[in-house]
Chain A
Amino acid sequence: MDYFLELFLGGLTRGSIYALIALGYTMVYGIIELINFAHGEIYMIGAFTGLIVISVLTMLGWNSIAIIVLAALIAMLYSAAYGFTIEKIAYKPLRGSQRLSALISAIGMSLFLQNYVLLAQTSNFLPYPNLVPTWDFLQPYEHIVRSTEMVIYIATALVMVLLTYLIKFTRMGKAMRAVAQDRDMSMLVGVDVNRVISFTFIIGSSIAALGGVLVASHIGQVNFYVGFIVGIKAFVAAVLGGIGSMPGAVLGSLVLGWTESFFTGYISSDYEDVFAFLFLVLILIFRPAGLLGRSDTDKV
């Protein structure tokens, strides 16, 4: 039974990590129907910015709680700035044209950001100091769940609640839902669409940055290529849950995390990813719009 529990928690950790990134994918997709390939790199830049801030602060001799909190905040700020800038340069001019052009532009931007960090920083793996203190009440279960994992669960839950509140009860949330439904109509009724889209990128990017900092301190290392694989996985999770729906992104991420964890545990980790993809295909065959996605049947 213990084995099952640990696999379950392992899957939960993976799922929460994917969720923090998948939320960014879903929000951006919901608003301008773009698969933001560069989102994985935003996550990586968030982790790197966090690492830089941590190094500078440790040199100044701050204590560890303050460092991790400040690092996370600054990382979120900078990633948001990157998200905002990328949208203005690579996606805004393409808003009128066909969707595939924006996709290729995103791919180009992802390649650019990877090499930008490779050249500016280093190609090696850099160790990531784990500043999340081990809480004493977790001591007895140390071998089952660690403090960094607990922080990830809490962060994901917190982000989910805040986001739901933002979307459901704030004016900007209403505007975002309107733009997601029909961009031109929202413009007609006076919604500043550009501001809403920028705001979506800012929120999506900062959540990814939070994920970046937490995950890097959990894994303990980071390099310029970290964002690519996790980005693809998070995108799979977002689609699995029904692209465009926030709860769908979280559900899809958790399902993907558990699938990978249980298949590795009970069958073999060689074909771990194969099972994850087969599982995705199966779900999409029976629910072509993902678990919670709204299947927009064409009105004939």
Chain B
Amino acid sequence: MKPVLDVNQLTMDFGGLRALDHIDLQVHPGEIVALIGPNGAGKTTFFNCITGIYAPTKGDMFLTRPQGEPKRLNGLKPNRVTERGMARTFQNIRLFQNMTVLENVMIGRHCRLHTGIPGAIFRPPASRREEKEVVADSYAMLEKIGLTRYVNEFAKNLPYGAQRRLEIARALATEPFLLLLDEPAAGMNAQETKALDELILRLRSDMKVSILLIEHDMKLVMSLSDRIYVVDYGKKIAEGNPEEIKSNPAVIKAYLGEDIDA
């Protein structure tokens, strides 16, 4: 089976600084892959390269819809990448603050709809039907994620955990087959993290979506991920399933630093 996401020799330089150094990474259909590493290792930069926000210095990126043909991502603008089926969330929440929860999710539906300006003005039956669908689909998404309580609330008034889940709901509204989660559990307490764990597993099974996850909460990473990539100072230092990573000396050194006496 061809990998859903295939990244090889991805390199990114900011002036003299090499943020990413020849990274290879694959995500297979239905898989949950984690990308971990200390702060400043280049994880978010990696996300920004594959979603088109930055243009990488070197390296190729391919996205393949299950049973589809690989499509090259280099040079695509972020909205084209999302249309191709790879949606993302952000490390610091970027919701549309003065729009309601439902409207935020409806924005996610945008690239799947077709009503243009004439359609909006004259509202032919097709556009009217599409508007009804948008509302129904968005509400269904909120039900899946469990946010129907806040449907008409402004995004800025939501509690922190709910805002995180709204970002995931909005990303899923674009009907991706690969979901990028950028530290979804950041700032969450244990009970919220556990709920998030179940949610992500449920998403994988219900929505048939593979997930690439950046996360610092090791318990969550170990319990969720099928495979883990570890990066440090822009270089890949380890790859494998959770058990291998737990015992990998390079990972321990990167995370916990040298033993004094060793």
Mark A residues whose CB is within 8 Å of B.
Answer: 299-300
Q: Complex: how many Å from CA A300 to CA B92?
A: 8
Q: Complex: how many Å from CA A300 to CA B182?
A: 11
Q: Complex: how many Å from CA A89 to CA B56?
A: 50
- What are 6 A-B contacts defined by CB distance under 8 Å? A299-B92, A300-B44, A300-B48, A300-B53, A300-B90, A300-B91
- The number of chain B residues with a CB under 8 A from chain A is 6
Contacts of A299 in B (CB 8 A): 92
Q: Complex: how many Å from CA A299 to CA B182?
A: 14
Q: Is the interface of B mostly helix, strand, loop or mixed?
A: loop
Contacts of B91 in A (CB 8 A): 300
Contacts of A300 in B (CB 8 A): 44, 48, 53, 90-91
Which residues of B62-110 have CB atoms within 8 Å of chain A's CB atoms?
90-92
Q: Complex: how many Å from CA A300 to CA B48?
A: 8
Cβ distance B86 to chain A, nearest Cβ, rounded Å:
16
Q: Complex: how many Å from CA A135 to CA B231?
A: 71
Contacts of B53 in A (CB 8 A): 300
Q: Complex: how many Å from CA A232 to CA B53?
A: 35
Q: Complex: how many Å from CA A300 to CA B44?
A: 8
* A299 nearest in chain B by CB position: B92
Contacts of B92 in A (CB 8 A): 299
User: 5 nearest interchain CB pairs?
Assistant: A300-B53, A300-B48, A300-B90, A300-B44, A300-B91
Q: Complex: how many Å from CA A299 to CA B48?
A: 11
Q: Complex: how many Å from CA A299 to CA B53?
A: 11
Q: Complex: how many Å from CA A300 to CA B54?
A: 10
Q: Complex: how many Å from CA A299 to CA B92?
A: 9
**Mask for B28-56, Cβ within 8 A of A = 1, else 0?**
00000000000000001000100001000
Cβ distance A94 to chain B, nearest Cβ, rounded Å:
19
Q: Complex: how many Å from CA A299 to CA B91?
A: 10
Which residues of B198-249 have CB atoms within 8 Å of chain A's CB atoms?
none
Q: Complex: how many Å from CA A299 to CA B54?
A: 12
Q: Complex: how many Å from CA A300 to CA B90?
A: 7
Q: Complex: how many Å from CA A299 to CA B44?
A: 11
* B90 nearest in chain A by CB position: A300
